């Protein structure tokens, strides 16, 4: 592809569109299904329960410490499938690109998408590209959809959450959001603060192979840990009590949150998961998590309780318990 910048014509469906696909997408994503360049991809998945998901990514800034919008678009959809107890196989990728967007940036994005897809063991088998006028979108938006096979013997569902179950968190929270917000607010952070963006399906497969009757898996993305716990408490009509002391937050992330006035428990993560499981399985799950690069700092953060139904309590460092509620508005910088 010769152009240095995306033009409206790249989305027209004509030759330039073809150039874009064959010059940028195919070299990055090449596989048998995509190479056929149909409107959709024919995939063979006979006799399996399928999981299917889609998500759109409009993150700003597009590039951040630990990832970019492309890596996020792949990991997010892979993780959504994994959290259903599925083994992801195929993804689609839809791009909405602003006229004038640098092709070099697009190449960086698709290459990191392919890198993430390779790590996750999935193939990006179909896609779509639209180019819109300058100002109509903010650089580039990506939609990914994914399909996967539900792992035998699993039945992930909030209805299986019961009082007495342990709640396991796979690692420190808040890194992704802080890495992004630091850029937005011009805050210089140590290099140790990077997005946790990562595909978790390999780890999930190991966990579910060892303990198929895990009640629920969730990745605490937008809204963070607090929101996810509240959703489960409400869906399962149980109480949840978590220990502040047991929830890991990287000190640099905590410091940035102090400066910006944010609560790390409400911040987005892109490579963490929460597991609800019977206590007798906890040690086994923890051993697998701690032996995996994406679960080294895993720990039990709390328990499911009988009551109050639908509410999450947080036992604080000094031993008091307070409500950990759903966020009701964007977190804004505070005044003093």
Partner 1 sequence: MLNNRQETMRQAAAFFTGEIDRLITKPVRLMEVCGTHTVAIFRAGIRQLLPPQVELVSGPGCPVCVTPNDYLDTAVAYSRLPDVIITTFGDMLRVPGSASSLAAEKAAGSDIRIVYSPLESLDIAAAHPEKKIIFLAVGFETTAPLAAATVLEAERRGLANFYVLSAHKLVPPALSALLADREVRVDGFLLPGNVSAMIGEQPYCFLAEKYHLPGVIAGFDPLDILQSVYMLARQIHASTAIVENQYRRIVRHEGNPAARQVLTQVYETVDAAWRGMGVIPASGLGVNDRYRRFNALAALPLQVEKASEQAACRCGEVLRGIIKPADCLLFGKACVPEHPVGSCMVSVEGTCAAWYKYGAGKWQV
257-to-106, 177, 243, 267, 328 alpha-carbon distances in Å: 31, 10, 19, 10, 18
Beta carbon of residue 240, minimum distance to partner 1 (angstroms, whole number): 10
Beta carbon of residue 323, minimum distance to partner 1 (angstroms, whole number): 4
Beta carbon of residue 244, minimum distance to partner 1 (angstroms, whole number): 9
Kindly list the residues in this chain that would bind partner 1 in the complex (CB under 8 A).
Answer: 185, 239, 241, 245, 260-261, 305-308, 311, 313-323, 325, 328-329, 331-336
Is the CB of 282 or the CB of 305 nearer to partner 1?
305
Is the CB of 153 or the CB of 261 nearer to partner 1?
261
Beta carbon of residue 320, minimum distance to partner 1 (angstroms, whole number): 2
Is the CB of 184 or the CB of 296 nearer to partner 1?
184
**Are the CB atoms for 287 and 210 separated by under 8 Å?**
no
Is the CB of 279 or the CB of 320 nearer to partner 1?
320
**Are the CB atoms for 97 and 11 separated by under 8 Å?**
yes
Is the CB of 56 or the CB of 316 nearer to partner 1?
316
Is the CB of 102 or the CB of 163 nearer to partner 1?
163
Beta carbon of residue 329, minimum distance to partner 1 (angstroms, whole number): 5
Other C-beta atoms within 10 Å of 8: how many? Answer: 16
Beta carbon of residue 175, minimum distance to partner 1 (angstroms, whole number): 21
Beta carbon of residue 37, minimum distance to partner 1 (angstroms, whole number): 43
Q: Which residues contact 216 (CB under 8 A, 6 or more apart)?
A: 156, 157, 158, 160, 161, 232, 236, 274, 275, 276
57-to-6, 217, 261 alpha-carbon distances in Å: 19, 22, 25
For 256, half-sphere exposure in the C-beta direction (CA atoms, 13 angstrom radius) is 29
**Helix spans in the chain (H):** 15-20, 26-29, 32-35, 69-83, 103-120, 175-184, 201-210, 224-236, 251-260, 279-290
Q: Which helix (H) or strand (E) holds 56?
A: strand 50-57
Is the CB of 217 or the CB of 260 nearer to partner 1?
260
* Cα distance between the two ends of the chain: 52
The structure tokens listed for 150 are 């539900």
- Tell me the sheet residues that pair with 131: 97
**Are the CB atoms for 53 and 77 separated by under 8 Å?**
yes
């Amino acid at each position: 592809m010769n152009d240095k910048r995306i033009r409206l014509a790249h989305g027209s469906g004509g030759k330039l569109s073809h150039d874009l696909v064959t010059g940028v997408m195919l070299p990055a994503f090449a596989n048998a299904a995509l190479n056929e360049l149909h409107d959709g991809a024919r995939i063979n998945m006979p006799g399996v329960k399928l999981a299917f998901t889609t998500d759109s990514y409009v993150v700003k800034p597009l590039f951040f410490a630990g990832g970019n919008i492309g890596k996020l678009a792949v990991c997010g959809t892979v993780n959504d499938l994994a959290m259903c107890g599925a083994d992801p196989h195929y993804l689609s990728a839809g791009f909405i690109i602003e006229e004038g967007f640098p092709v070099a940036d697009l190449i960086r994005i698709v290459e990191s998408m392919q890198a993430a897809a390779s790590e996750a063991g999935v193939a990006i088998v179909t896609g779509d590209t639209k180019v819109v006028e300058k100002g109509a979108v903010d650089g580039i938006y990506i939609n990914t959809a994914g399909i996967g096979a539900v792992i035998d013997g699993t039945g992930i569902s909030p209805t299986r959450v019961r009082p007495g179950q342990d709640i396991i968190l796979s690692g420190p929270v808040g890194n992704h959001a802080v890495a992004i917000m630091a850029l937005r607010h011009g805050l210089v952070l140590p290099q140790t603060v990077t997005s946790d963006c990562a595909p978790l399906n390999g780890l999930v497969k190991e966990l579910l192979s060892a303990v198929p009757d895990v009640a629920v898996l969730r990745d605490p993305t937008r809204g963070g840990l607090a929101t996810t716990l509240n959703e489960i408490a409400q869906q399962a009509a149980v109480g949840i009590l978590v220990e502040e002391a047991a929830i890991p937050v990287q000190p640099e992330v905590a410091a940035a949150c102090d400066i910006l006035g944010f609560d790390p428990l409400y911040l987005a993560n892109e490579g963490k998961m929460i597991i609800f499981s019977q206590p007798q399985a906890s040690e086994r799950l923890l051993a697998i998590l701690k032996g995996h690069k994406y679960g080294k700092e895993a720990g039990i953060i709390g328990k499911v309780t009988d009551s109050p139904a639908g509410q999450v309590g947080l036992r604080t460092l000094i031993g008091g318990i307070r409500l950990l509620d759903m966020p009701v508005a964007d977190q804004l910088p505070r005044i003093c």
